[in-house]
Chain A
Amino acid sequence: MNYPVWFVPTFGGGLLIALVAIVHVFVSHFAVGGGLYLVLTERKALTEKSAAIMAFVRTHTRFFMLLTMVFGGLTGVAIWFVISLINPAATSLLIHTFVFGWATEWVFFLVEIVALFIYFYTFGRMDDRNHQIIGWIYFGAAWLSLFLINGIIDFMLTPGDWISNHGFWSGFFNPTFWPALFFRSFISFMLAGCYGFLTATFIEDEALRHRMIRYSGIWALVSLILSLPAGWWYLAVLPAPAARLVHGASPTIARAGTVGAFSLALLAGLLITLILLSPKARTRVLTALVMITAMGYLGAFEWTREAARRPFVINGVMYSNGLPVSAVSRIDQEGFLQNARWVQNKEVTAANRLEAGRELFLHQCFACHTIGGFNNDIIARTRNMSFTGLRSYLATIHGKRYFMPPFAGTDAELQALAAYIAGGLNHKPLTDTGGAVGDHGKELFDTNCAACHGADVLKPILSGWPQKKIRTALDRLPSLNPAMPDYTGPPADKDALAGYLFSLNHPQPQPATGAAPAAPSTAGKGAGLFADNCTACHGLDQIKPALKGWPRAKIRAALDKLSALNPAMPDYGGSAAEKDAVADYLTQQTGGAQ
């Protein structure tokens, strides 16, 4: 609102931040933990009086310097560049709040650079004690730089008491500061071990190579194990809305969680394999896998941390699109365009509606949604929504999907945005049906459901679902999928919606009343029983192949001893008549002989 927008339609800034950030943290954490690895490995070389280990430390230091100081340092600057480009308002707020935190971090960077240069260039020339002290100074400065940036990063997720007192220290020592510090420290030691693996595989001497691989593996494994309780602690102190997102309400976090858990298991498994099995096997491929899985673990954490604060960029203070939370009610009154600096249409008219809508999109949606791009494409997301549906959706967007910021602006502006998305981007008619004509259930679907899944997606899922089951499901949508919000419409609307959904697979719709068919057949009754008793685990589609060619008698007999078919399946406790009805239904559906 305050700033212009870097607008490349198909390219989203959020993805750019994520890419740069994940690459940077993978090197910058190494820059911290690797410092400890260096000094302790140098001490090991001195204690064991091993020139070979000392030579390895020196080679590793060179690799360390070239990677962390050049690539790590510059990608750190890159993050700063990128966030000020993509989210200038939030960057300004952070910089103004924590400028002296960053300035202090800069001093530690300076000390780090000098110490690392000296450490590397005086190998073999400085006496051992002083050389080790220089190494410790490097590690101390690097860890303190982590200490500082950790406070600022976690402030964005949990600003804590800063919201009320705006105090530097309240924001810095925020609720997630300590768990995150422990977690990041252990991760940095883990990465030090992983990178140690990498350089150790280049050691010529076989015996030493195996020793250093084993040594690095223990580093990584112990640190990985220690990171787990710290990560759990971190999750435990998350505020309720963030915790809900982490525990399933956000599909993107769920994906990140899968990647993280998988990486963790694979990483731990690989490390143990590498240490316990003889490291005589070709270890470079395994080492590459260790690096990839380590990145997956750390990347999943960073992704989760970023995504868990949505719809905010600074939790409770500023929305992801740079809009201050405190400004929303005023903007709703006065209008967004009136308050925005970088817009040409200051109010919505019939003539400029699409153009004003485009400007609203640019300033309120483009922070997360590309136009026809890879990341969160707005066209794909709204393809199934009508103009009317979009308007209704935008009006309650934050309530329906917590991780989306509310639309800020007047009703005319909201209509302009809806017109731009529906008409300008999706080329749909901008007629106002208002729900008065057409299928009411379809209108409700467009408004409430189509933002996440179109009818074509639901049709195969709902295949075989009786209308009653659909109607029941509408009462408890989150139990189907934690990411799905409750549908809060009145029962009549739910009936209509259920009728529409049922009609997707049954072109002759039943009366949209939700009532059971007037004269249910046995098979009809069986359908209801099947829905209530079986579909929690398997739909009709899943068992159809298994039942292919089964005569009714066989199906009926099987219903008496389901646990014999599969030990995981409980026996069905229905009456004989009910079992008959289910058998009738299944026979009818699978085409088995009567």
Chain B
Amino acid sequence: MNPATLIPAADPLTVPSGWFQFLLMLTFPLHLLAMNALLGTALTALAAHLLPGQPYRRLSHELAKALPFLVAFTVNLGVAPLLFLNVLYGNLFYTSTILMGLFWLAVIPLVIIAYYLLYLYDFRFRQLGNGAMFVLLAVLALLLLVGFVFSNNMTMMIAPAGWNRWFTTPGGTLLNLADPTLLPRYLHMMTGALAVGGLCAALYAKIALKDDPETAAAGIRLGMGLFSWLSLLQVVLGVWFLTRLQPAVLRLFMGGSGSATALLTIGLLMALAALMAGFRHQVGLAAGLTLPLLYVMAFMRDTVRTGALAPYFSLDKVPVTSQVQWSPLVLFLVTLVLGLAVIAWMLGKVATCTARGEGQTEEESDN
């Protein structure tokens, strides 16, 4: 059976696809950033429990307070790119979602449990003692599992050749395990996430804990250590991932496509620079390099998707409605600007009240 015959027809877009691509590529790295911060902060907090000394105790306590925020923002910042992905690739994405329906739905309870466990970790920090490590281990296991489900869906939606397995297994229990890119891609993403998260923890320690130099130093040391070594591992895994790509897709990065090759080159150079900054514990520089690097990697990921789909599907062929509807787009953009302004105003108020009310911030975490 020709896999292309299985691909559902795409519904027409209300504005040209470029807008959705722009919004997808704008918001997706923000989700990655929050997700990375969540995973890496949980790992840093866990590592801090294993190290001796009061500064590491205080560090894990401080990180505990940040973790629930990170879940909230990971989920929220995931909604926007998932929405734009639905519009652009819904016909592919819904199909792979149905093929793995049971696992896909499991994401929800897994995240809810991880979320509540992190609140438990935050609000019951003192009572938990060393038991906190097991809470964090459980959270990391749950979140890494969620990442595995996502990797399966994102690789299965661009691999229609394996879709006909549905005819014999229609119960939503398929995964994409036979895909040679799945494992390197998943490990590459998760190692990178833990690394960048370590950097986020270091940055948090440097900025938010500067009044407690010992704890801040512990956080920077631990976070940057995780960032550097895991990034090194991630580069190795990245090369493995690259070699496992379909030959046609790999060729794009090896000179076949100017933009893809440039992305790979820039990505590698920036990764090396970030590594050097990491090993030198230059938090600001490493962070300054990593945020744009996330964007570069997101674009490389997009290139893999476009390349893998090229034989079957192209966004250029998705129809646009005869009457383009601009006003809803304007509504969204205006709301976004206003919303960000309101958020900035609120954060400004927090900054002034934090300055005013210093020294009385601890009580909540012990409730």
Interface of A with B (CB < 8 Å)? 2-8, 62, 66, 69-71, 73-75, 77-78, 81-82, 84-85, 88-89, 91-93, 95-104, 106-111, 113-115, 117-118, 121-122, 124-127, 130, 134, 137, 141, 166-169, 341-342, 344, 362
- Find out whether the CB atom of B166 lies under 8 angstroms from the CB atom of A4: yes
Q: Does B12 contact A (CB under 8 A)?
A: yes
Contact B108 A125 (CB under 8 A): no
Q: Is the CB of B331 within 8 A of A104?
A: yes
What 10 new A-B contacts, CB under 8 Å, besides A3-B94, A81-B97, A96-B12? A5-B170, A70-B112, A84-B94, A88-B95, A95-B86, A98-B328, A99-B86, A106-B76, A110-B76, A124-B357
Query: Is B325 a contact partner of A168 (Cβ separation < 8 A)?
Result: yes
Q: A108: which B residues are within 8 A, CB to CB? A: 335, 339
Is B346 touching A4 in the complex (CB atoms < 8 A)?
no
Q: Is the CB of A82 within 8 A of B105?
A: yes
Residues of chain A with a CB closer than 8 A to B347's CB: 114, 118
A71–B346 CB distance below 8 A = no
Q: B18 on the interface (CB 8 Å rule)?
A: no
Which 6 residue pairs are nearest across A and B when measured between Cβ atoms? A100-B328, A88-B94, A7-B170, A125-B357, A2-B8, A107-B339
Q: Which residues of A contact B171 (CB under 8 A)?
A: 6-8
User: Could you pull out 30 A-B pairs where Cβ atoms are within 8 angstroms?
Assistant: A5-B98, A6-B171, A70-B71, A70-B116, A73-B75, A77-B79, A81-B105, A85-B104, A91-B86, A92-B90, A93-B11, A100-B328, A100-B331, A101-B328, A103-B80, A103-B83, A104-B328, A104-B331, A107-B332, A108-B339, A109-B76, A111-B339, A111-B343, A115-B346, A118-B346, A118-B349, A118-B350, A125-B353, A168-B325, A342-B166
CA distance A110 to B340 in the complex (A): 9
- Interface, chain B (partner A; CB < 8 A): 5-9, 11-14, 20, 23, 69, 71-73, 75-76, 79-80, 83-84, 86-87, 90-91, 93-95, 97-99, 101, 104-105, 107-108, 111-112, 115-116, 119, 163, 166-167, 170-172, 321, 323, 325, 327-329, 331-332, 335-336, 339, 342-343, 346-347, 349-350, 353-354, 356-357, 360-361, 364, 367
Given A81-B104, A107-B339, A114-B347, check contact A121 B80 (CB 8 Å): no
A85 to B102, CA, bound (A): 10
Given contacts A114-B343, A130-B353, contact A97 B14 (CB under 8 A): yes
A4 and B170 form a contact (CB under 8 A): yes
Return B99 CB to nearest CB of chain A, in Å: 7
Q: Is the CB–CB distance between A168 and B76 below 8 Å?
A: no
B178 to chain A, nearest CB (A): 18
| A75: B residues at CB distance < 8 A | 108
Contact of A126 among B72, B332, B335, B350 (CB under 8 A): B350
When the two chains form their complex, are residues A122 and B353 in contact, meaning their CB atoms are under 8 A apart? Answer: yes
Whether A110 touches B350, Cβ cut-off 8 Å, given contacts A84-B97, A85-B105, is: no
Contact of A113 with B98 in the complex, beta carbons under 8 Å: no
Min distance, Cβ B354 to any Cβ of chain A, angstroms: 8
A145 CB, nearest partner CB in chain B, Å: 11
Instruction: Tell me, rounded to whole Å, the shortest Cβ–Cβ distance linking B300 to chain A.
Output: 25
Asked if B91 contacts A74 (CB within 8 A), the reply is no
- Shortest CB-to-CB span from A392 to chain B, Å, is 30
Closest to A59 in B: B367
Cβ distance B111 to chain A, nearest Cβ, rounded Å: 6
A3→B98 contact, CB < 8 A: yes
> Nearest Cβ in chain A — how far from B8, in angstroms?
4
Main secondary structure on chain B at its contact with chain A?
helix
In the complex, which residues of chain B have a beta carbon less than 8 angstroms from the beta carbon of A110?
A: 76, 339, 343
Contact B9 A2 (CB under 8 A): yes
Contact A104 B332 (CB under 8 A): yes
Shortest Cβ distance from B83 into A: residue: A102
> B346's contact among A89, A109, A114, by CB below 8 Å, is which?
A114
Q: Chain A's nearest CB lies how many Å from the CB of B343? A: 5
B98 and A341 form a contact (CB under 8 A): no
Query: Which B residue's beta carbon lies closest to that of A169?
Result: B327
B75 lies within 8 A of A103 (CB): no
> How far is B361's CA from A124's CA once the two chains are assembled, in angstroms?
10
Please report the C-alpha to C-alpha distance between residue A2 and residue B80 in the assembled complex, in whole angstroms.
25
Interface contact B91-A104, CB-CB below 8 Å: no
Contact B83 A95 (CB under 8 A): yes
Contact of B108 among A78, A113, A137 (CB under 8 A): A78
**In the complex, what distance in Å separates the CA atom of A115 from the CA atom of B323?**
38
- Contact of A103 with B108 at beta-carbon distance under 8 Å, contacts A2-B8, A84-B86, A109-B79 already known: no
Determine which of B5, B73, B170, B346 lies in contact with A341 in the assembled complex, contact meaning CB atoms within 8 Å: B5
B75 touches A74 (CB 8 A): yes
A93 surroundings in chain B (CB, below 8 A): 11
Known contacts being A95-B86, A111-B339, is A73 close to B108, with CB within 8 Å?
no
B364 CB → nearest A CB, Å = 7
- The 8 Å CB contact of A6, one of B9, B98, B111, B119, is B98
A137 to B344 CA separation, bound complex (whole angstroms): 13
Cβ-defined contact, B14 with A111, below 8 A: no
Contacts of B84 in A (CB 8 A): 99, 103
Contacts of B354 in A (CB 8 A): 125
* Cα A109 to Cα B115 with chains together (Å): 17
Q: Smallest CB–CB gap between A312 and chain B, Å? A: 17
Closest-CB distance, B346 to chain A (whole angstroms): 6
Cα-based distance from A126 to B350 in the complex (angstroms):
7
Q: A6-B98, A100-B329, A104-B335 are in contact. Are A121 and B364 (CB under 8 A)?
A: yes
A3:B83 contact, CB within 8 angstroms: no
Instruction: State the CA gap A99–B333 with chains docked (Å).
Output: 12
Provide the residues of chain A in CB contact with B323, threshold 8 Å. 166
| Distance in Å: Cβ of B173 to nearest Cβ of chain A | 9
A127 to B367, CA, bound (A): 22
Decide: A113 and B170 in contact? CB cutoff 8 A: no
List of A residues within 8 angstroms of B167 by Cβ: 344
Within the complex, the shortest CB–CB distance from A341 to chain B, in Å, comes to 6
Cβ A341 vs Cβ B6 within 8 A: yes
Q: Which chain B residue lies CB-closest to A69?
A: B72
Residue of A98, A113, A362 most packed against chain B (CB within 10 A): A113
CB-defined contacts of A84 to chain B, threshold 8 Å? 86, 90, 93-94, 97
- Complex partner residue of A113 from B72, B97, B364, CB under 8 angstroms: B72
Q: In the complex, A97→B325 CA distance in Å?
A: 10
Contacts of A99 in B (CB 8 A): 14, 20, 83-84, 86-87, 328
Are B108's CB and A77's CB within 8 A? yes
Among A3, A121, A122, point to the contact of B8 (Cβ < 8 A).
A3
Q: Is the CB of B346 within 8 A of A95?
A: no
Among A81, A92, A101, A109, the one with the most B-chain Cβ atoms within 10 Å of its Cβ is A92
Q: In the complex where A107-B332, A130-B353, A342-B166 touch, is A96 in contact with B14 (Cβ < 8 A)?
A: yes
Q: Known contacts A85-B105, A103-B83; decide if A137 and B14 are in contact (CB<8 Å).
A: no
**Is the beta-carbon distance between B72 and A4 smaller than 8 angstroms?**
no
Closest CB of chain B to A366's CB: distance in Å?
10
Select which of B98, B325, B331, B367 is within 8 A of A4 by beta carbon.
B98
With a cutoff of 8 Å between Cβ atoms, the chain A residues found around residue B23 in the complex are 103
Question: What residue in chain A is nearest B364 (Cβ atoms)?
Answer: A121
- Specify which of B7, B170, B360 is in contact with A125 (CB 8 Å cutoff): B360
Q: How far is the CA of A440 from the CA of B9 in the complex (A)?
A: 47
Q: How far is the CB of B146 from chain A (nearest CB, A)?
A: 11
User: Separation in Å of the A385 CB from the closest CB of chain B?
Assistant: 26
| Known A100-B331, A130-B349; contact A81-B107, beta-carbon cutoff 8 A | yes
Say yes or no: B91 contacts A92, CB within 8 Å: yes
Known interface pairs A106-B83, A127-B353, A130-B349; A74-B172 also in contact (CB < 8 Å): no
Q: Please determine whether B321 and A81 come into contact, CB atoms closer than 8 angstroms.
A: no
Q: Which of B83, B90, B115, B367 contacts A62 (CB 8 A)?
A: B367
Interfacial chain A residues near B94, Cβ < 8 Å: 3, 84-85, 88, 91-92
- A126 with B349: CB separation less than 8 A: yes
A99 to B104, CA, bound (A): 22
Chain A residue contacts of B339, Cβ below 8 A = 107-108, 110-111, 141
Q: Which chain B positions have C-beta within 8 A of A5?
A: 98, 170
Minimum CB–CB distance from A82 to chain B (whole Å) comes to 7
Whole-angstrom CA separation of A113 from B73 in the bound complex: 8
